[in-house]
Chain A
C-alpha cells in the first residue's frame, strides 16, 4: 500500500455519527499501518535488494543496509554507480593497436590466422578482467547495467572482425552510461563501429540498402516486434545510409556523404533525413520508453509483466530525459519489486552465479582465467552471445546438462578454498610451491629449505613427465604441474628450492632425448604469492646452456626467494584477485604478468574483501539473526531450500546444503 491511501476521505458518512467516528479512527489506524515501511531493512529484504541489484549479498553489505529504509538503501546503491572501472585495464590495451586495417588487405591467410589467434588471446584477458572487476567493484549495479547494455546492444567478437580493442571501447562506453542516459546510448549505437560492423550498417549504401541495422534498431533496441511496419524499416535504412567504417582508422566510425541517400524519408509517421533524426523520432515515442521499461523489469523484477511497475519506470525515463538512475529508482521502489509473489522469480545467469558466489561466500580467486571458461560452460560466454538477440535468459539458463554443469562449477569454486589453505593445515603457516618436472631414469629430486638451514622437504617429483616415453614437451602448458603444500612453524624470510640430480640421455640420442629437469612457477609464503621469474637462480657448479630463466632448473642449481626483499621490490603481492589476474593475464611466457609498480597500485586500489577459507568463517560473518542453521539460508537464497537436506549444525554441511539446492540458482 502506498502513501496515496493516507488522507482519503471516507465516502457516505456524516459528521456526528458515532459509527463515523469509529470509522475515522479505524481509517486512521489503517493508514498508519499502511504507511511505507519506515524502519530498518530486515536481512532478507536487504539480501533481496542487493542480490537483484548486484551480485549476491555479502554479509557486510547486508549489515550496511540494515539501518536504512528501502528508499535510503536504493538511493545509496544508485549513488555508488560509477562511470569507470575500479581496475586498471589489461596491459595490452596500453600498447599501440595491431594493424586491423591490414587484415584483409595485406596479410596472407597464415598471417591473418596468427593475427586472429593473438586477438583471441587478448579477448580471454579482457573476459578474465571483467570477472575480476565484477568481483571487486564497490558498485555491482554498475556492472549489472553494463551487462544489460551488452545484452541489449548486442554484438559478438567473431562478427566484428575480432576487433578486441573496439569491443573494449564499446563496453567502456556501456559502463560510462550504466547509470547514465539511454538517449546517449541510442545515439551512440549508430556511430558505434562494433555495432555497425555486426549489423552490416557499413554495407548500407544509397541505392543498395542493407536493412539489417534498421531492423534490429527497431526490433531489438527501441520498439520491439509489432510496433513498426516494414515500410518504416525501409525508410530508416535509407536514412541510415552513409554510416561506415574507415579502414585507415582501423575500422573506426566515419560518415561517407557519398553513400548517403539524401532524399526525405518518412518513418513512424514523421519526416526525417539521417541517423540523428531517426534517434530523435524514436526517443519521442512513448513505445520506446515502454519497451525499455519492460526489458528492465524482466531483468530486475520478474519474468511476468507488471503494468504498474513498468508504467512507473517508463514515466521516470520520459520525465528525466532518458536517465537510467531515475528509472532504476522507480523499479527498485515499486511495490511489485518487493512483493513476496516475485521472490525468487528470476534465475541467476551464469555470470551472476559465479560472481555472486565469490562476493557473498568470500571465495578466493585461484585462477581468474578459469572463470570465463566456467561461464562459457554454463552458456554465457562474455563478448560472444549466440546471436543478435543476445542471451534469452530466465529459465533458458537451466537444462539438465547446465544444471549438472552449475553444480560442477560450484564444486570447483568451493574447492578453491582448499587450494589456498590446504585441508590439514589450519592454524599453521603454509608454504606452497607450484612445480613440474621432467623425469628420465627416475624423477628429479627437489630440496626445500627456509631461513638458511631449516629443511622443509627433500622429495622426488614423482609426477614429473616421463621423457623416456614422451620426450621433452616443449609446451609449458603440457607439463604436469602440481601444487605442493608444506606446513612450517616459523615465519618464512628466505626460501630456497634446489634441484639435486640433473641427468640426461647422451646427446647421440638426438634432440628429443630424455632429460631430467625441475620447474618452479611460484612460491606462496603465508598466502602471498611470488613468481619464480622474480627470484634469484644460480647453478651449482657447471653452467647450463641457454639464457637463464628463473624457475627452469635444467641443471643442478637453486632458486632463492628472498621474501622480504621481493616484497619491498613490489613483486606480485597477490591478494586473491591480483594473483588471479597475474595467472589469467600473463603473456604466454610465464611470469611476464604485470609490472611491479602497477601491481602495487592495483593492490592498494582494491577495496578490502573478506575471503573465507572455510565455512565457519562465512557463517560467523553473517548478521547475528541469521547465524542459526535454520536461518542461514536467508543470507543466500530468496526461498527456503527445497532439497530436504538436514545438515545439522556443521557449517560446511550447512553451506553445501544451501549452495547445492535449486533455490541457490534463483534471485
Chain B
C-alpha cells in the first residue's frame, strides 16, 4: 500500500475506530522538510559514505509507524512512547535518540527509504550481509562488493583517476561492498595505526626469482603499499575535526574520515561500521544508545563536511543486514527480521520519506514486507552520485531509486 493511499486509509480508520479504541495520535507536530536546490559538484569530487549498522537494526523502532494501532499491540513492552517520539508526519515519528538528525531533516537533506529489503530474505547475519554487500539475489554469489564493481565498471576515468584510493574503510568493520580485485582499497583503524602499518607494508622491488607464490606476494604487497602511501602522503596529523566527535567507534571512524578529507585525501567511496544492533534481549536501552551514536556522529560529520564545502558532494547511506521482527520476543528484544528503512543524507539529497510505509496488518511471516529492493537504491546511488544511469544493477531490472537532486 503506498503512502498516499495509506494516509487516506488512516483518516478513515481514525474516524471508525476499528478496535474500539482511538489510535494514539502522534504527539509531535508535523515536520515537513524544506525543499532545497543544491546540486552535487563535479564527478571527481563526489563521495559515498556507507554506514553499516551491524547486527540488524530494528527499523520499526527507528522510523515508528505511530498511527498504526498494531504497533503497540505487537510491542507492548518495546513500543516507543509517542509522547517522546519525534513526529515527522501523521504516520511517522523517529526514535527520540535520533534528535540530532532533525536539523538535516528540516533542511531537506535527509531522505528515509522505507521497507527496503529483497525477495526471499535470509535471516543469517553472515549470509544476509553478504547479499547486501554483493547486491545479489539471495541465492547467488558474487566475487566482489557492489560498490567495487560499480567503480571498476564506471565508464568515466575521472571518478577514480585523481583519487588517492578507490575506497577507504575506517574502523574495524569488513571491507564488504568495497571488496574486489583491482581496486585500491585502504583499510585503517585510525590514521596513527595506519602509518605504523605502512612501515611494515613497505614497497618491495621485484624479486629476482623464486616461486610464483613469492612473486604474487610481493606484487600484492606493492599494491597495498602504493594505496597506503598515496593516502599517507597527505596526512598532516592536524586532526581538525576529531575533537568534535564522540568516543564511540562510529564517531571515531567518522572523525578520522573527516580529518582525512580535511587533509585533502580523496576517495569516491568510504565505509564505516557500528556494531551492536543484534538486540535479541533487553533492546530498549541498547538500541537507544546506538541510535543516539548514529545520529550524533552523522550530525557532526554533516557539520564538518559543510564547513569544508563538501556536503553537497556527499551521500551518506546507512544499511543493515536485515530489520527485526514486528513482534517483540519474550526477552524484551526482537529477533531477526526482513525489510527495514535506510537513511540517506547529503547536501544534494532530496529529503523526505520514500518507499512504502510498513503495513503492520499485512506482515509476511511476522516480518515487514520488502517493498523497495535495496538494489534499486544502489542503482540510484550509482546513477545519481556517480552519474552512471545504466549500470550493472539497472541492467538487471532494478530501476534506480533517485535520492539526489539532478540537474534539469
Contact = CB atoms under 8 A, between A and B. Distances in A.
A110 B220 contact: no
Contacts of A303: 212-213
A639 B187 contact: no
Interface in A299-341: 302-303, 341
14 contacts: A114-B280, A117-B280, A344-B211, A344-B213, A345-B211, A347-B213, A395-B212, A399-B181, A400-B224, A404-B201, A405-B187, A642-B214, A662-B214, A662-B218
Categorize the interface residue count of chain A.
Answer: 35 or more
B211 A343 contact: yes
A395 B213 contact: yes
Interface of B: 123-124, 126-127, 141, 174-175, 179, 181, 184-185, 187, 197, 200-202, 204-205, 207, 210-214, 216-218, 220-221, 223-224, 227-228, 276, 280, 282, 285-286, 289, 325, 327, 329, 335-336, 365-366
B286 A475 contact: yes
Question: Which 10 interchain pairs have the tightest Cβ spacing?
Answer: A400-B224, A662-B217, A113-B335, A345-B211, A395-B216, A660-B200, A400-B223, A474-B282, A398-B220, A347-B213
A158 interface: yes
A116 B126 CA distance: 13
Interface of A: 109-110, 113-114, 116-117, 158, 302-303, 341-347, 377, 381, 384, 386-387, 394-395, 398-401, 403-405, 407-408, 411, 470-471, 473-475, 478, 512, 639, 642-644, 660, 662-663, 665-666
A642 B204 contact: yes
Contact of B210 (A398, A639, A665): A639
Contacts of B174: 377
Contact of A401 (B126, B187, B286): B187
A665 B221 CA distance: 12
Among B126, B187, B218, B221, residue most surrounded by chain A Cβ atoms (within 10 Å): B221
Contact of A471 (B187, B217, B285): B285
Contacts of B280: 113-114, 117
Contacts of A665: 217
Contacts of B127: 158
Contacts, number: 119
Contact of A109 (B185, B213, B285, B366): B366
A163 B229 CA distance: 46
B192 to A, nearest CB: 14
Given A109-B366, A643-B204, A403 B211 contact: no
B227 A400 contact: yes
A633 B193 CA distance: 26
Contacts of B366: 109-110
Contacts of B205: 644
A407 B124 contact: no
Nearest to A348: B213
A110 B216 contact: no
B217 A398 contact: yes
A345 B212 CA distance: 7
Contacts of A411: 197, 200
Nearest to B331: A114
Given A109-B365, A400-B227, A662 B221 contact: yes
Contacts of B335: 109-110, 113-114
Contacts of A666: 211, 213-214, 217
Contacts of B126: 158, 381, 384
B220 A403 contact: yes
